[in-house]
Amino acid sequence: MEVNERRLGQQVRNFEKALNGFSNTEPFARYLTRFFKENKQMGSSDRRMTSRFCYNYFRIGKAKADLPTIERLALAEYLCETHSELVAFVYPDIFATMGSLLADKIKVLFEKFNFQLRDVFPFSEHITDEIEKDAFISSFFTQPNLFIRIKRGFEKEVKSELEKADFVFDEIESQTFALSNGTKLQQLVRLEGKYEVQDLSSQKTIRFIEALPNQSWWDACAASGGKALLFLDKYPKTHVLVSDVRLSILRNLDERFQKANIRQDYRKKVIDLTKDTTSILGNELFDGIILDAPCTGSGTWGRTPEMIQQFSVNQLAEFSDLQRNIAKHVVRHLKPDGALTYITCSVFKEENENAVDYMVKELGLKLDRFEVIKGYEDKADSMFAARLIKE
C-alpha cells in the first residue's frame, strides 16, 4: 500500500513525545488527558492516533525489549490492528497478513522475529493454574468491552434509550449490557442513576454474597462503592457499613450513592485496615463482610496495559502481606457462622488461592466455594472471588 510518510512521521513524533513525557507515576489515561490539554495544536485525529499508538505499544508488554521503540510499536500495531500504515512502512513483508486471526499473527511474528508470547507477560509462573495462560496473555491485544449494570426495575427503559440513541450493545443478561469501549454514555442524561458502569466479572462476584433482610454487612474496602451498589441493588433491606482508608474516597462514594438514588440508610467510616480496627469499631460484629482487597490489579491490565511494563514481581509479596494483614483485622468483626466474601482483580495465585489458604489455616475460616472468573474469555477483567464461613 502507499504510505503517507509525512503524516506517519508526524504521528510517530506525537507518539514519542507523549511516551517520553510519561513518568509511570500515575495512570496513563490521566497523564494523556493532561498531555492533550498542554498540546492544543493537536487535532482530533492526532489525539486519536497518539492514544492508539501509546496503548498498543503498552500492550506488547515486555516482549522484544531489545528492539528500537518504533519497531516494537510496529509489532504491537500488527497484533492489535487489522490495518496500519506504520506496519506497511516498517514491516511491509508482513503487512498483507494483518487481517489474519490473532493466533496466526502470533505465529508469523514467532517465525520472523522469534516473538515469544510469554515475554509479553513474563510473570506466567505466578498465574493461577485455572487460567489458560496463552489465552490470557493474548487477550491483552484486544481492548476490553465497556459493561453496564442496570438497576432493578429500569431494564426496559435503559434498553429503549440505548436503542433510540442507536448505540450498539449486547444484552449479556437482563441487567448487564456490553458496549464497545469509548461509547459516550454521558450523552444519555436521562439515564443518570439508572445504570452503573461496572465490569462484567465484577458484577459476577455477587454470586458469592448471600444476605438476608435486616442483616448487618460491612464493605471493608469500599473504594468507589461499586460492590456496595451491587450489593444494595440485590439486597436492599440490609444494613451496610462502608469504609475506606481515604476520606476523599468516601466523599466521592456519597456523591455516587446520591446519583444512584440509594435510599437505604448506610454508615461510613474512615478505617485503616492494616491497624487494630477495634479502636474504631469496638467489638461490633457483622453477619457478612465484603473484602475487595487491594491487589496488583493484574486481571485488569487489559484496560491499563502500561502496568505490564511497570510491574515488578517484588510487588507481589508486598500485596500478599498486605492482604493477609487486612484479612486478619477484618475477620475479628465477623459473627460466628458469618460469611466473608474475598475478592481480587488479580490473576496471581499468591493473592488468590494462597490468600484463601492462609485464611483457612490461620484465621479460623472454612472455604465454602471459590471461582477464578475468566474475564479474558468475555473481553472483560479477570477476577477471583471466594466465600468463606467463620466457624
Question: Given 54, 80, 221, 345, which residue is catalytic?
Answer: 345
Identify whether 345 is a catalytic site residue: yes
Dihedral of CA atoms 353, 355, 356, 360 in degrees, nearest 10, equals 140
Supply the DSSP symbol for 369: E
Q: In DSSP terms, which residues pair with 239 in a beta bridge?
A: 216
Ligand-binding site membership of 244 (annotated): yes
| Length of the chain (residues) | 391
Helix (H) or strand (E) holding 118: helix 117-120
d(C-alpha 12, C-alpha 70), whole Å: 8
Question: For 40-52, what is the HEC assignment?
Answer: CCCCHHHHHHHHH
C-alpha cell at 241: 457499613
Query: Is the distance from CB of 8 to CB of 49 less than 8 angstroms?
Result: no
Question: Distance from first CA to last CA of the chain, Å, rounded?
Answer: 68
Helix (H/G/I), strand (E/B), else coil: 325: helix
Give Cα separations from 380 to 28, 89, 143, 306, 390 (angstroms).
19, 33, 9, 17, 32
> Would you say 230 and 383 are in contact if contact means Cβ atoms under 8 Å apart?
no
C-beta contacts of 63-69 below 8 A and 24+ residues apart: 63/115, 63/116, 63/117, 63/119, 63/120, 64/113, 64/115, 64/119, 65/119, 69/16, 69/19
In Å, what is the CA distance from 269 to each residue of 214, 266, 278?
20, 10, 13
User: Can you give the C-alpha Rg of the chain in angstroms?
Assistant: 23
Contact in structure between 71 and 94 (CB atoms under 8 Å): no
**DSSP E strand boundaries for the chain:** 146-150, 169-173, 176-179, 195-197, 216-219, 239-244, 266-270, 286-292, 334-344, 365-373, 383-390
Strand 239-244, strand 195-197: pairing: unpaired
Catalytic residues: 345
- Return binding residues: 244, 272, 292
- Return binding residues for S-adenosyl-L-methionine: 244, 272, 292
